[in-house]
Chains A and B, each alone.
Chain A
């Protein structure tokens, strides 16, 4: 298998596998039969910390616009809404992650997948583009985090 790309979050390397594409919302998308399997990139997982709870406000068969909120994740360090990286239809929701959210941490790029969507995947980025997106957005992401964290160093 081709070696993954690496992004350095401070001193912590996070991996960007090259066998799939990425949404600007830090989800990976792997094309298979009937659509894209979606999950959180190691970058997003690292920001969240230990994932404790995942829930969806959509169900299988629902249509979704790109950027539409689909659900919610709660983790040790942060919470976040989860958004559709592409426009399309929700095909499947991973029941195993609902039962064992820690799969997102132990295996973010495989068993920790979240849901699958059909669609043309038009806005998705190549691994190289995603890496560039991470590099460009990192100073702002840090600022947002520090802003939220107030006076934390």
Chain B
């Protein structure tokens, strides 16, 4: 018997009434289909490895449909960071999903399990129909396969969604797109907070995600491959919008034409984050979820950037407000 198809509905951090309404409509539509196994989770990005939600995600071995409040590409790489891997599913019914070209083949080091992760961005439509239709198509296709194999899809059970409503705090950490990353280690060398590390094979890993400074996207700016995603950043290019990286789309030169160089911008952001970290530590320890208590202040080592002058600060503020 073919397994049920797992569907994850990941809620936004603070769901608005409109978002709650969409959740409810989606749940009603999904629970009607007995071949789906629906689970409601908190915001995917905020989950930590030890959370039951992550354990549940990891326990799913078959295809997975994920509805969340992130760009599909971000959802896919956040899942990857949680150890949930598979091929990225592509649908034609949701053209937004497909804006990105298929990932180029990597240097053969990422071995993916033989299954598909379908990721949907709940910000793409404010009505449930498009999502339900897409899920129906995916399920229908699976059903067809099962029939061809002479199998039946499990249809027992109530179809009622499991709700894992852990109360969790917001997190902030980089998510690496390993299809783009070429392991140049610029991020490792650039980050002041020891977020990045190397695994046994010498590949970059996000070793201390919670050592990252909330709001600081500097490493994403220095990454030559644009492989670092901060899913909650204002700038779509940093938050994982594939459309900002497409040929034929217009570039935003505001950073260049503001007279501030990208390296200055990144250095200023890093500097700002370091200053905030020092202030935070001076103000006494604050429990941060998952973060080891900081043992020492950020040393103004020889590697530290020169003090950012006021002009750079002002420009960085201006750039942040502009929502580049």
Enumerate chain A interface residues (CB-CB to B < 8 A).
23-26, 44, 47-48, 65-69, 74-75, 77-83, 85, 137, 140-141, 143-152
Contacts and interface: CB of A to CB of B under 8 A. Distances in A.
A140 B237 contact: no
B252 A80 contact: yes
B104 interface: yes
Given A81-B322, A148-B252, A143 B262 contact: yes
Q: How large is the interface on B (under 10, 10 to 19, 20 to 34, 35 or more residues)?
A: 20 to 34
Contact of B259 (A25, A74, A147): A25
Interface in B45-90: none
9 closest pairs, A vs B, by CB? Answer: A150-B245, A25-B259, A24-B259, A80-B253, A78-B251, A81-B254, A147-B226, A144-B262, A80-B257
A119 to B, nearest CB: 15
B256 A80 contact: yes
Interface centre among B221, B253, B255 (most CB of A within 10 A): B253
17 contacts: A24-B259, A44-B256, A69-B322, A75-B250, A77-B250, A79-B250, A79-B253, A140-B261, A143-B224, A144-B256, A147-B224, A147-B262, A148-B244, A149-B245, A150-B242, A150-B245, A150-B246
A83 B324 CA distance: 14
Nearest to B246: A150
A140 to B, nearest CB: 5
Interface stretch (B32-40, B207-215, B310-318): B310-318
Given A48-B253, A81-B322, A151 B259 contact: no
Nearest to B257: A80
B180 interface: yes
B263 interface: yes
A23 B262 contact: no
A44 B258 CA distance: 11
B287 interface: no
Contacts of B259: 23-26, 67, 83, 85
A152 B250 CA distance: 13
Given A82-B257, A144-B255, A150 B226 contact: yes
Contacts of A25: 257-259
A25 B256 CA distance: 7
A58 B26 CA distance: 46
Nearest to A40: B257
A80 B260 CA distance: 13
Given A78-B251, A78-B252, A140-B263, A151 B224 contact: no
A76 to B, nearest CB: 8
Nearest to A136: B261
Given A67-B260, A140-B262, A143-B224, 6 more contacts: A25-B258, A47-B251, A67-B315, A80-B257, A148-B237, A151-B101
Interface string B283-324: 000000000000000000000000000010011001000100
A149 B251 contact: yes
A104 to B, nearest CB: 13
A83 B257 CA distance: 7
Given A83-B257, A140-B262, A67 B247 contact: no
B322 to A, nearest CB: 6
B314 A67 contact: yes
A81 B226 contact: no
A26 B259 CA distance: 7
B295 to A, nearest CB: 34
B251 A68 contact: no
Contacts of A144: 255-256, 262
B223 interface: yes
A152 B262 contact: no
Contacts of B322: 69, 81
A78 B249 CA distance: 8
Nearest to A146: B224
Contacts of A47: 251, 253, 256
Contacts of A146: 224, 226
